[in-house]
Amino acid sequence: MAIARPVRALGLAAILMWCFFLYQVFSPTGNTGKAGEKSFERDPNLDPTGEPEGILVHASDQYAPGIANSARINATLLALVRNEELEGMLQAMRDLERTWNHKFNYPWTFFNDVPFSEEFKTKTQALTKAQCNYELIPKEHWEMPSWINQDLYEESVKILKENDIQYADMISYHQMCRWNSGLFYKHPALANTQFYWRVEPKVHFFCDIDYDVFRYMHDNNKTYGFTINLYDAPASIPTLWPETTKFLAQHPEHIHENNAMNWLTDKVRRPEHNEKANGYSTCHFWSNFEIADMSFWRSKAYEDYFNHLDMVGGFFYERWGDAPVHSIALGLFEDSSRIHWFRDIGYQHIPFFNCPNSPKCKGCVTGRFTDGESWLNREDCRPNWFKYIGMG
């Protein structure tokens, strides 16, 4: 009753302002005392922003659309996987079905360059109530293209191996990188599909996700979602950025005004990477996890870019991965505000983690980036993304 008389003395407008103030103070999504700042839990174990108080995590980061917006999105879970990787695929499926897909039952689409075995089909379908599709990659999408010089390829592989580039002598790895970069979304099975969530064998998911991530992407006008952001091996991509600059000189119309050029060209944090990659920071989204709108890959900007890179031959003469190719394209041709960090999705692809500070996560250590050698912590490029683009 102590505030009764002051309140009676106030006009209607003042009463409304007082109510708004109380809401802001006591609401779980209100202010902490600093203007415009949410009430966050602070995680002292992870500091990708360079701030001493650690990363900011808030319950409202999880999307919860109303019933009116609950219609399913045109999307699929997507996996490029071999028959011999069955056990690893089953493990990844169990994790994602348990933490997310059993609530939404989005279909799985599996791709292989050879037919899937009956054992693969039976065991994967048994793990989900959702529909499973098993697709064969067309030979013309998988085989080394006709314009690649075989002798030059073999010599290039020797140089890559001398530089300790992993998988350099595996032709299938080069084929996979090219397919994931610019051909997967052209498969007839995906012709009428817009969004996908890429899932690889042996990956782990740690957190219960209670909202439809595809609906989040759609409703919030997002093009691409990531969890981990790394530096690449410069020796695997020495001409990727020079070829990119050539392309940009020919097609300046494709560059988005709100691009992430600073993230792509930063030379402060890892100057040796920028130097060896000839102007590219080597920062990239680790694409073994990506949730994306295929409309971007199907755009003229990306198609022009991929075709330029493909004809140059760097997928075979060097070891250009789909991760830097996707990341450079997104960083140049897309509005950076449409790229989303899924801070609330706990994920591991050995040896790196995205482990949120949330009671919905079990089985990973909050804030841990790697369980490998300590020097691997230097490979985290999220600080640069947060520095130049923000945390979303």
Domain contains 18: no
Structural domain span for residue 107: 72-388
Q: Are 75 and 193 in contact (CB under 8 A)?
A: yes
Domain contains 7: no
Domain contains 20: no
135 carries an active-site annotation? no
What's phi and psi for 183, nearest 5 deg? -130, -25
The dihedral over CA atoms of 202, 207, 209, 215, expressed in degrees to the nearest 10, equals -50
Predicted local distance difference test score (pLDDT) of residue 1: 39
Domain contains 61: no
The CATH number given to whatever domain includes residue 228 is 3.90.550.10
Domain contains 49: no
Domain contains 314: yes
Q: What is the Cα–Cα distance from 126 to 108, expressed in whole angstroms?
A: 12
Domain contains 34: no
- Residues 214-272 have pLDDT tens digits of 999 999 999 999 999 999 999 999 999 999 999 999 999 999 999 999 999 999 999 99
What does the block give as tokens for 142? 């998988």
Which DSSP letter does residue 313 get? T
Predicted local distance difference test score (pLDDT) of residue 71: 76
Domain contains 28: no
Predicted local distance difference test score (pLDDT) of residue 72: 83
Number of domains within the chain: 1
Instruction: Collect all residues with Cβ–Cβ distance below 8 Å to 351 and sequence separation of at least 6.
Output: 370, 371, 372, 376
List per-block mean pLDDT (blocks of 10 residues) for the chain, which spans 392 residues. 37 44 35 32 40 44 51 94 98 98 97 98 98 98 97 96 94 98 98 98 98 97 98 97 98 98 97 98 98 98 98 98 98 98 97 96 95 95 97 84
Q: How many CA atoms lie within 13 A of 50 on its CB side?
A: 10
Where do the H-state alpha helices sit in the chain?
4-9, 12-26, 86-99, 118-125, 139-142, 150-162, 171-182, 213-219, 240-250, 261-265, 271-276, 294-297, 300-312, 314-317, 322-333, 382-388
Q: Are 209 and 100 in contact (CB under 8 A)?
A: yes
Q: Considering 97, 290, 318, 379, which one is annotated as catalytic?
A: 290
